[in-house]
Amino acid sequence: MSTNVPNNQDDREIDLMQISRNIGDFFRGINSFFFQCIQFFFKNGIVIMILFIVGVGVGVYLDKTKKTYDHQIIVSPNFGSTDYLYSKIDLISAKIKEGDTVFLKNIVGIKKPKEIIKIEIKPIADVYKFIDNKAENFELIKLMAEDGDVKKILEDNLTSKNYTSHTVFFKTNRLTYDKETVQPLLDFLNDSEYYRKIQQVVLKNLQIKMTENDSIISQINGVLNGFSNRVNGSQTSNKLIYFNENTQLNEVIKTKDVLINEQGKHRIDSVGYDKIVKDNSAITNIENTSSVNGKLKFIIPLLLIFGFILIKLFQRFYNKQKKLSLQST
């Protein structure tokens, strides 16, 4: 047993020497790599500097000339025209992808169709307005939430299309103006004979409803005034008047309050019913700085230098392999 101890110690010493040798080789390799990099940049410094200057110049030029701009229009589809609105936007999007500038200019009315790059529509998820005073919508969400994630349900296409407001996004490669894109788009979205007829009927029904509500409110005011006069008359004549709980006076007052609130809502609705697709606001010419937009002055110089380094590495590899091939023959 005593004869095995020196052997184990020798093996351990050999292992430690091998590890230290490997570590030394690793650091020498790193030093050699850094030296070669420094040597490469010194040797090709002029070329790299030229590529950097050219890349910055080209990048600055492209950043100024190849800008893209985002635009948003918040709209509210009326008279159940949500699916109609989405189908119209999908049609315009398809024509943009096809490059059908004739359709975009002559049918949609966009003045410079080549400048529009993309268009899409997304709902504005306002669940509170979705269930406001609509018990059936609230119950629907509760029922659907029992079998799935509430967030997914609220973002589901079937649910989201029933939200009040939606945002139309479109992108151009130039600055645009209201009369060139926004107004033609809105005119195209509102060009529907079917929904125009529905609009007329809805506005007529709304006016009838408001007139009837005003009449009922006037009658309620008459009842309340009569009651007030009777109370005041009893006080001056010192006669007592008894009212039982069946007068339902509180219900009459509540009915008046409901009708007044309803009239206020109808007046607000009538403002938005002047169009099939009502535009609430429009924000245009927001410079897009996502992705590489506006960053080409930094990206292009790096790409040119990186490409130059790859070419040099390929040449070195090719020459090395060519030399080995000649030696072997």
Q: Exposure of 300 by Cβ count < 10 A (0-12 exposed, 13-18 middle, 19+ buried)?
A: buried
Residues 281 and 251 in one domain: no
The count of structural domains within the chain is 3
Q: Which residue has the tokens 């701009």?
A: 69
Residues 186 and 216 in one domain: no
Residues 84 and 39 in one domain: no
Q: Compute the average pLDDT of residues 4-26.
A: 64
Q: In angstroms, rounded to a whole number, what is the distance separating the alpha carbons of residues 201 and 27?
A: 85
pLDDT tens column, 78-92? 998 999 999 999 999
pLDDT tens column, 133-186? 555 555 555 555 555 555 555 555 556 667 788 999 999 988 888 898 999 999
Q: What is the CA radius of gyration of the chain?
A: 39
Residues 186 and 215 in one domain: no
pLDDT category at 306 given cuts 50, 70, 90 is confident
Residues 103 and 178 in one domain: yes
Distances from the Cα of 92 to the Cα of 73, 74, 101, 104, 319, angstroms:
15, 17, 10, 7, 56
Q: In angstroms, rounded to a whole number, what is the distance separating the alpha carbons of residues 181 and 128?
A: 32
Residues 51 and 9 in one domain: yes
User: Does residue 318 lie in a domain region?
Assistant: yes
The number of beta carbons lying within 10 Å of the beta carbon of residue 236 is 7
Residues 168 and 282 in one domain: yes
Residues 33 and 178 in one domain: no
User: Does residue 78 lie in a domain region?
Assistant: yes
User: Does residue 31 lie in a domain region?
Assistant: yes
Q: Which residue has the tokens 């296409």?
A: 157
Domain extent at residue 40: 4-64+304-328
Q: What percent of the chain has pLDDT over 90?
A: 25
User: Does residue 92 lie in a domain region?
Assistant: yes
Residues 167 and 281 in one domain: yes
Residues 255 and 318 in one domain: no
Distances from the Cα of 210 to the Cα of 215, 218, 265, 318, angstroms:
9, 12, 10, 87
Q: Compute the average pLDDT of residues 221-248.
A: 59
Helices 296-328, 45-65: inter-axial angle, 10-degree rounding? 140
CATH of the domain at 179: 3.30.70.100
Q: In angstroms, rounded to a whole number, what is the distance separating the alpha carbons of residues 60 and 295?
A: 9
Q: Which residue has the tokens 């070329």?
A: 47
Between 55 and 296, the more confident residue is 55
pLDDT category at 240 given cuts 50, 70, 90 is very low
Residues 86 and 147 in one domain: yes
- Identify the pLDDT of residue 199: 92
Among 315, 211, 312, CA closest to 263: 211
- Identify the pLDDT of residue 1: 46
